[in-house]
A and B are shown apart, each in its own frame.
Chain A
């Protein structure tokens, strides 16, 4: 059945068709999962358990990422700003950059690395050891039991994590700014508060919620549909992380353009 490898057009065509089919399958899975949220039962206990796994356990890695990024950012902006004698913009630019972009994006990517892979590995193993089929034979819908709790947990938890990441990121900038760059602490906080707008925070949290959905969807989709033993599970795990990364960055761009695109 293999098409001749020598024909580049055939390869391009096949890749294109395969990706269209994949997008179709993914959309179908997403639609089915959302439909199941509206169709009880919802396993709240499992959702809480997932919130703990996603949220609490991700705090250290997300917090450290935000701290270091905020600090590095403050240093760079100080260096850049000092060329125009504009060192005072540091707090404002840091808070905007962190809250609008870096907090949600870096937080989302870190959590995707941790959580999408873990979900894909767990569900993938359940698939290849027939545990997902076993759920069905025990009168339990596997989408309700496995996918819905993960989706709900991630959508609720990611905004909370990103909120923490934003605060820690600003704190990182504050620490470098006041300790190393000699900015006044009171002024720093004042400028930060002046620059930050409600829309920044809301867009940040909306992004986080969308990223949470992407993270859980990619982990569940690739795990749920994995096949072919240990190798298949490994592939599902890789695909989950890579596709979550790409989709998070794409979704971020789309939301940024929609929310901030018409500001000049």
Chain B
């Protein structure tokens, strides 16, 4: 008997007009596992995440979360599934109309109907967890630096103790040291919760730190998958080119050619 995977995608395709972004994604993430998807810009990484979350609906294929097919759910069932998820967005996506603590507590208050005092306490606790002092809670997101916004975003993603957490380019736009701090926090928070995570990134340092397994996406397909240690000797030219960051290899960027 095999253990049911937390996320399972089979033959998922998605096109925007004539542009085929996903061309048949097959992917499996086991419970408690941390899968990092690497790939260049514009290869369909974000679209894939949005399909799982139901923010976009795929043209074909099946997506199962914990055994439930999520591509054709009613609004109510989708909400139930979404309560298992947390997500850290690329630009943190904090609500700038709300103070920091209300951002962190948002899912607890609006999603779960918790009373404010209790939610505030949890929010402060989560802020501390990501290394921010309680007084940050009363600031507005616009007053924070990029690294602090990322931390608040992380605190918001873990506040409702989700079973699955998505990280969309968690280190983009941060300096190398702050990137490492965020990576460490991600690893710690995920261990605390025992959550399943799916991350997308093009930062190899980040991938090496937070991944159990790594998969590479290219032209809308998963072209390689393996353990973290196998990345360096995958025997796959595409993966090699990507992790070495070389302009020369099978992957040709869509540049303007004379």
Which residues on A sit within 8 Å (CB–CB) of B82?
136-137, 139
Contact present for B110 and A133 (CB under 8 Å): no
Give the distance to chain B from A133, nearest Cβ to Cβ, in Å: 5
Report the interface size for chain A: residues with CB under 8 A from the other chain.
14
User: Please, how many angstroms separate the alpha-carbon atoms of A140 and B111 in the complex?
Assistant: 6
The reply to whether A138 and B110 contact each other, CB–CB distance below 8 Å, is yes
Contact A137 B95 (CB under 8 A): no
Among residues 112 to 141 in chain A, which have CB atoms less than 8 Å away from a CB atom of chain B? 126, 129-131, 133-134, 136-141
Inter-chain contacts of B75 with A (CB < 8 A) = 141
Most buried by B among A129, A130, A133, A138: A138
Which listed residue (A1, A130, A140) contacts B106, Cβ 8 A? Answer: A140
Question: Once the chains are docked, how many angstroms separate the CA of A139 from the CA of B106?
Answer: 9
A133 contacts B93, CB within 8 Å?
A: yes
In whole angstroms, how far apart are the Cα atoms of A90 and B232 in the complex?
Answer: 88
Partner of A139, one of B89, B95, B110: B110
Chain A residue nearest to B106 in the complex (CB): A138
Is there a chain A Cβ closer than 8 Å to B128's Cβ?
Answer: no
Q: How far is the CB of B153 from chain A (nearest CB, A)?
A: 9
A131-B95, A134-B93, A134-B95 as given contacts; A139 in contact with B112, CB under 8 Å: yes
Q: Given A137-B53, A139-B79, A129 and B110 touching (CB < 8 A)?
A: no
Q: How many residues of B contact A (CB 8 A)?
A: 27
Cβ A129 vs Cβ B106 within 8 A: no
Question: How far, in angstroms, from A33 to B126 measured CA to CA in the complex?
Answer: 35
Q: B170 near A: Cβ within 8 Å?
A: no
Closest residue of chain A to B87, judged by CB? Answer: A137
Interface assignment of A29: CB less than 8 Å from any CB of chain B: no
Residues of chain B in range 1-57 having any CB-CB distance to chain A below 8 Å: 18, 50, 53-55
A145 contacts the other chain (Cβ, under 8 Å)?
yes
- Closest A residue to B56 using CB positions: A133
Give the nearest-CB partner of B53 in chain A: A137
The answer to whether the Cβ of B65 comes within 8 Å of any Cβ in the partner chain is no
Q: CB distance B89 to A133 under 8 Å?
A: yes
User: Does B86 touch A at the CB level, under 8 Å?
Assistant: yes
CA distance A133 to B111 in the complex (A): 14
Within residues 1 to 55 of chain A, which ones have a CB less than 8 A from any CB in chain B? 1
- Give per-residue flags for A124-164: 1 if the beta carbon is below 8 A from chain B beta carbons, else 0: 00100111011011111100010000000000000000000
If the complex has contacts A139-B82, A141-B75, are A129 and B91 also in contact, measured as CB distance less than 8 A?
Answer: yes
Interface membership of B172, Cβ < 8 A: no
Question: Quick check: A133 and B106 within 8 Å, CB to CB?
Answer: no
Q: Are B110 and A134 neighbours in the complex by a CB distance under 8 Å?
A: no
How far is it, in angstroms, between the C-alpha of A126 and the C-alpha of B86 when the chains are bound? 19
Chain A residues positioned under 8 Å from B79 (CB to CB): 139, 141
Q: Kindly state whether residue B85 has any CB partner on chain A within 8 Å.
A: yes
Q: Which of A131, A133, A134, A141 is in CB contact (< 8 Å) with B50?
A: A133
Does residue B90 face the partner (Cβ distance < 8 Å to A)? yes
CB-CB contacts below 8 Å: B74-128 with A? 75, 79, 82-83, 85-87, 89-91, 93-96, 106-107, 110-112
Distance (whole angstroms) from the CB of B175 to the closest CB of chain A: 21
Q: Identify 6 residue pairs between A and B in the complex whose beta-carbon atoms are under 8 Å apart, listed by A's number.
A: A133-B53, A133-B55, A137-B166, A138-B107, A139-B107, A140-B111
B interface residues, Cβ below 8 angstroms from A: 18, 50, 53-55, 75, 79, 82-83, 85-87, 89-91, 93-96, 106-107, 110-112, 156, 160, 166
- For the A-B complex with A131-B94, A133-B89 known, give 10 more contacts whose Cβ atoms are closer than 8 Å: A131-B95, A131-B96, A137-B87, A138-B106, A138-B111, A139-B82, A139-B107, A140-B106, A140-B111, A141-B79
